[in-house]
């Protein structure tokens, strides 16, 4: 369960459980309390996203999930799946740490931020530190939540029929002693890892969420 809590001038103004397919920022705006994320606590299964909010007229809800959709009969056999993952923008010596997606993934050969799904009972900070170590061999600290990105997709994929809700917790993290990246999670979704100069990012084939993340931390 993910609970969204909005505070205005230090006073709790709104609280709700994030519904399947819902974006927390959109949910706040629809309730008349738009704002920006300021932190997260708890572990997978009981996470709380904290927002600083201000009152406003309720915004219209989104049009709906992406994807071709499913028929009524298909929906009966599909369990909605929510995946909570933590990723990190790690910059050291004017270089960004990136990971290349393995051949069996849906974006084979493209580059992503280090990160991945949280383990049961794991906090987002713990997940970032673990995933960065597994995928790149780098040690990070000073992990800070900066944005929450979501995607709700309904339709057919390489995995079959899906009603998939991705909740991506975007962080920044510090790598005090950058080294040559090494992929320790052999056989996983990462095939390679590199420190990419910021000046060369425009020529690197990255997944769409990386561009969104870089804008969120004002690197693009």
Please report, to the nearest 10 degrees, the dihedral formed by the alpha carbons of residues 182, 144, 172, 145 taken in order. Answer: 110
Residue 62: is its pLDDT beyond 90?
no
pLDDT band with cut points at 50, 70 and 90 for residue 1: very high
pLDDT given at position 159: 78
pLDDT band with cut points at 50, 70 and 90 for residue 103: confident
Residue 63: is its pLDDT beyond 80?
no
pLDDT given at position 158: 74
- For the chain, the average pLDDT equals 93
pLDDT band with cut points at 50, 70 and 90 for residue 50: very high
Q: Which pTM does this prediction carry?
A: 0.91
> What fold, for 80-216?
Nucleoside Triphosphate Pyrophosphohydrolase (3.90.79)
pLDDT given at position 74: 87
Residue 187: is its pLDDT beyond 90?
no
- What are the boundaries of each domain within the chain? 2-53, 80-216
Pairwise CA distance, residues 161 & 99, whole Å: 27
Residue 61: is its pLDDT beyond 80?
no
The model's pLDDT over 110-146, given as tens digits with 9 standing for 90+, comes to 999 999 999 999 999 999 999 999 999 999 999 999 9
Give the number of other CB atoms < 10 A from CB of residue 182.
11
pLDDT given at position 106: 76
Buried b (16+ CB within 10 A) or exposed e, 190-219: bbebbbbeeeebeeeebbebbeebbebeee
């Amino acid at each position: 369960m993910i609970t969204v809590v909005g505070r205005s001038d230090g006073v709790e103004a709104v609280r709700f459980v994030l519904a399947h397919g819902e974006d927390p920022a959109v949910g706040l705006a629809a309730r008349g309390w738009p704002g920006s994320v300021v932190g997260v606590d708890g572990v997978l299964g009981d996470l709380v996203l904290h927002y600083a909010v201000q009152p406003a007229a309720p915004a219209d809800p989104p049009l709906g999930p992406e994807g071709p959709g499913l028929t009524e009969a298909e929906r009966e056999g599909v369990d909605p799946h929510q995946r909570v993952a933590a990723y990190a923008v790690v910059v050291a010596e004017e270089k960004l740490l990136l990971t290349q997606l393995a051949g069996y993934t849906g974006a084979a050969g493209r580059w992503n931020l280090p990160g991945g799904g949280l383990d049961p009972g794991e906090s987002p900070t713990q997940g970032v530190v673990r995933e960065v170590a597994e995928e790149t061999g780098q040690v990070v600290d000073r992990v800070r939540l900066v944005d929450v990105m979501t995607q709700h997709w309904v339709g057919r994929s390489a995995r079959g029929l899906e009603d998939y809700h991705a909740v991506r917790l975007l962080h920044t993290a510090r790598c005090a002693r950058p080294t040559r990246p090494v992929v320790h999670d052999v056989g996983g979704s990462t095939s390679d890892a590199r420190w990419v100069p910021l000046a060369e990012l425009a020529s690197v084939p990255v997944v769409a969420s990386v561009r969104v993340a870089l804008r969120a931390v004002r690197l693009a």
